Structure 1
């Protein structure tokens, strides 16, 4: 685990407080707990997340990354002539409409993406961990983020977007390639699942499907807690509670490497399923 915190991190171009009181590291699940379901359930209840280092076959993850950027290379997303696996950002996207068509019609609906999301390391884990037959939500999100992009995912918790089903669903956030701190990645607000769940259960009117804030620094200060980060590697997977607050950080990679990641959701098949999430992800699907 890293011992030094980065000196500069941003989200939506707003700087975070990187002092030790406001920034820390995700705690990986120790190898001795990986096959202990009760220990993992207790850890998830305590922390709101399970950071599973090397849960997936890195070769499988990197093969998908290479396919993704190779498919979109013609649009100018990656630097002309560069190896697709590296994901080096192009100077400009030549055809944004073509990017959307290839992403939503070929990649999101493609066999390679489905195979990745249902591989034994993921579906098998959830079947074992939830101790039931499981259901993968068809609406699965995959995002690329270039250093020059100014928009990042704001602070939110997943349940506000999934009101039509069970509260017992779990999300997987998977970096599709190495993702050191300067390349951004997902960050989690320590302990937020506790107060979010308490608030959500007690509220007479459920929070609408919207983000909390873009100002991560202020949110951590308000709740006197820390944002947790990691130097993610290909093969890592984070499983998190639908109540924990999380957001993405800016990609400030000096080499211009694009961050690529996916987030998917599993639940028990016999629990209520939100019908709005049973269609392929589209940019205009309203969720």
Structure 2
């Protein structure tokens, strides 16, 4: 049984995230066609798993056994987020080089990069990332910005990975153009089963491995599952675009949970 913010997902509305096959990995036109069709690219093994696990060890080495929230936030926002290790991880050649190749120009990495940690058993509204599409938070720049979601370690479905609403970007693009979607930066809903019915679409899930990356458009609806495993779920989401496109200036500061975005 899969849940998100306590809502039980309908098994009839579940599907499997589609992996980009090896034969398409270096075919840029095919990848762009796939991204336009599906709204995401699931690239297994794009990163070296040991590099991913090394960053996970670094993170938990600093966090340690900190349980007091103020102390945790001090380490996260004072050391890890602005740290050179995190910056190097997000701009490593396997990532930056891929975006440079795919975008066909100089890539730009937004400074606001997010790390999400979810402990086993955390549940209820506000725990897991609610359904949303990224453009509602990035209206000050290009709508061609691409997000990369990276599980920092093994992330089976039970650990609460990201789930995507199948081909939802097509409707979002149409609704955006018609002005039917709300403009304030906000999640759409925590009710994933209800949204699947509204969109007549499946939530796509999979077991992620260290080294996997999912790249999605700014219009693709996604959310997170609850962590019902016995291990900590850790991930990061970062955003790249072409450097010569309009850039949202609000996203050029280090992420903080009180930055208003």
Q: Is the TM value for this pair above 0.5?
A: yes
Paired position in structure 1 for 2:235: 261
Q: 2:202 aligns with which of 226, 233, 237?
A: 226
Deviations 1:214-252 (A, max 9, x none): 010011011111000110000000000100100000000
1:73 aligns with 2:47: no
Verify the 8 A CA contact 2:175 2:181 in the aligned structure 1: no
Paired position in structure 2 for 1:125: 98
Residues 10-19 or 234-243, more deviating: 10-19
Higher RCO, 1 vs 2 (CA within 8 Å, ≥6 residues apart): 2
Structure number with greater Rg is 1
Paired position in structure 1 for 2:9: 16
SS at match of 2:11: coil
Paired position in structure 1 for 2:178: 202
**Using the alignment, how far apart are the partners of 2:258 and 2:32 within structure 1?**
36
Paired position in structure 1 for 2:135: 159
**Using the alignment, how far apart are the partners of 1:269 and 1:124 within structure 2?**
14
Paired position in structure 1 for 2:147: 171
Deviations 1:37-80 (A, max 9, x none): 000000000000000000000000000001101111141xxxxx
**Using the alignment, how far apart are the partners of 1:227 and 1:206 within structure 2?**
22
Paired position in structure 2 for 1:35: 26
**Using the alignment, how far apart are the partners of 2:208 and 2:183 within structure 1?**
31
Deviation at 1:205, TM superposition (A): 7.4
- Runs of 4 or more, structure 1, over 3 Å off, are none
Q: CA RMSD in A?
A: 1.0
**Using the alignment, how far apart are the partners of 2:235 and 2:208 within structure 1?**
11
Using the size of structure 2 for normalisation, the TM-score is 0.97
SS at match of 1:164: coil
Verify the 8 A CA contact 1:200 1:207 in the aligned structure 2: no
Verify the 8 A CA contact 1:16 1:216 in the aligned structure 2: yes
Paired position in structure 2 for 1:276: 250
Paired position in structure 2 for 1:217: 193
Structure 2: any 5+ residue segments left out of the alignment?
none
**Using the alignment, how far apart are the partners of 1:216 and 1:74 within structure 2?**
33
Paired position in structure 1 for 2:227: 251
**Using the alignment, how far apart are the partners of 2:17 and 2:181 within structure 1?**
32
